[in-house]
Amino acid sequence: MPLSSDPAATRPPTPGRSRNMAAIKRRDTQPERAIRSLLHAAGKRYRVDVRLQLEGARPRPDIVFTRARVAVFVDGCFWHCCPEHGRQPSVNGGYWGPKLERNVARDRAADEALRAAGWTVVRVWEHEAPEEAKERIIAVLDATTSASRDARTG
Ligand SMILES: [Zn+2]
């Protein structure tokens, strides 16, 4: 029996939208993995999937630097309403509108709770170049480590 070498040929065509939704929903996203491996290559050690117990929120940042108290979130453009891709008219009404508004409200509450507990929050959009995101995270890490060093010595 001849087998097709093209796996797509054996499947019925998928509507673009549902494929996008599946990609967006995935927990461990591609940009997130790219940023993690860049950080790792830069010698930065972090923890993943740590749920933090804070006053008023239990955020679960995507990348956590425990000692530096830096929490990184890689936010999906759709779920977190990125200003560039998150405001399609079809999304603002009906079912998704209120749901997405709650997501954003939860994000802001998490940011507030983290900052109140002495954490620095870095939010990266999934559309950002992983290399640039990495630079930004490292700059924040360097700033927080030197700040805490100054506080100890001074
Ligand atoms: Zn975006």
Tell me the pLDDT of the chain (154 aa) as tens digits: 444 444 444 444 444 444 455 444 455 678 999 999 999 999 999 999 899 999 889 999 999 999 999 999 999 998 998 988 876 656 556 778 888 889 999 999 999 999 999 999 999 999 999 999 999 999 999 998 777 777 665 5
Tell me, in angstroms, the distance from the centre of ligand 1 to residue 131's CA: 16
The continuous run of DSSP H or E covering 114 comes out as helix 96-116
Tell me, in angstroms, the distance from the centre of ligand 1 to residue 2's CA: 43
Taking CA atoms, 37 is separated from 32, 41, 52, 127, 150, in Å, by 9, 6, 23, 17, 30
In the chain, the number of structural domains is 1
Residues 128 and 37: their CA atoms lie apart, in Å, by 15
Asked if residue 112 is part of any domain, the answer here is yes
The set of residues, in sequence order, having a beta carbon less than 8 Å from that of 113 and lying 6+ positions away, is: 54, 55, 56, 57, 59
Query: In which domain, by residue range, is 91 found?
Result: 44-59+68-134
Asked if residue 124 is part of any domain, the answer here is yes
Tell me, in angstroms, the distance from the centre of ligand 1 to residue 116's CA: 27
Asked if residue 12 is part of any domain, the answer here is no
CB atoms within 10 A of CB 85: 14
Tell me, in angstroms, the distance from the centre of ligand 1 to residue 76's CA: 7
Asked if residue 14 is part of any domain, the answer here is no
DSSP 57: B
Of how many residues is the chain composed? 154
Tell me, in angstroms, the distance from the centre of ligand 1 to residue 149's CA: 36
Asked if residue 6 is part of any domain, the answer here is no
Residue 54: both structure tokens together:
């804070």
